[in-house]
Amino acid sequence: MLLQRIVASVLLLACLGLALMAWPYQAAFSYEPVGPRAFPLLMLGLMGVALLYMVFRPAPIKHSEDEPPLDRETLTKIGICVVLLLVFAGTFEPLGFIVSSILIGVPMARLYGGRWLPSVAIISLMSVALYMLFDRLMDVPLPLGLLDILEN
């Protein structure tokens, strides 16, 4: 119980620090009605409210039988997921959305029990479909990176 409150407090401090960093942000241009500052502040606000509840809640969280235990294997998977997401953030611009999504998505699927062929096929199709959805339909530009030669 004490460990949960300590972790929630540390995350609450991180949210506060990120909110202070995001507050003065002003973009030179904005294609969104509320601007680029509103979304991070809204997410940080919601996280902060949830973390405040976790810090001051009266009773500990009870785990049920169907939840995985927080053992070494689960913590290892969480650590690998965090590393994969950091690699995704680092390769997003140079490799592009599609390539970096496939590069990170396949190991993530394999980490949670996916087979090779379905993982590669589904992640590849999802990466292309999400690129088309965001870039073409929603007009949110995503980088093509290595596949830049395909764009006309």
Rounded to two decimals, the pTM is: 0.61
Residue identified by tokens 């991180």 is 14
Residues 47 and 27 in one domain: yes
Other residues' Cβ atoms within 10 Å of the Cβ of residue 141: 10
Q: Which domain holds residue 25?
A: 1-62
Q: What pLDDT, on a 0 to 100 scale, did the predictor assign at position 61?
A: 63
Is the domain of 58 the same as that of 73? Answer: no
List of residues 6+ apart from 140 with CB closer than 8 A: 134
Q: Does residue 53 sit in the same domain as residue 72?
A: no
Q: Clarify whether residues 41 and 111 are in a common domain.
A: no
Q: How many other β-carbons are positioned within 10 Å of the β-carbon of residue 4?
A: 13
Per-residue pLDDT, 38: 75
Examine the domain organization and report whether 88 and 144 are in the same domain. Answer: yes
Successive 10-residue mean pLDDT values, the chain, 152 residues: 82 91 74 67 89 82 68 88 93 90 94 92 94 83 77 64
Q: Are residues 90 and 150 in the same domain?
A: yes
Q: For residues 114 and 96, state if they share a domain.
A: yes
Statement to judge: residues 84 and 58 lie in one domain = no
Asked if 103 and 50 sit in the same domain, the reply is no
pLDDT for position 137: 82
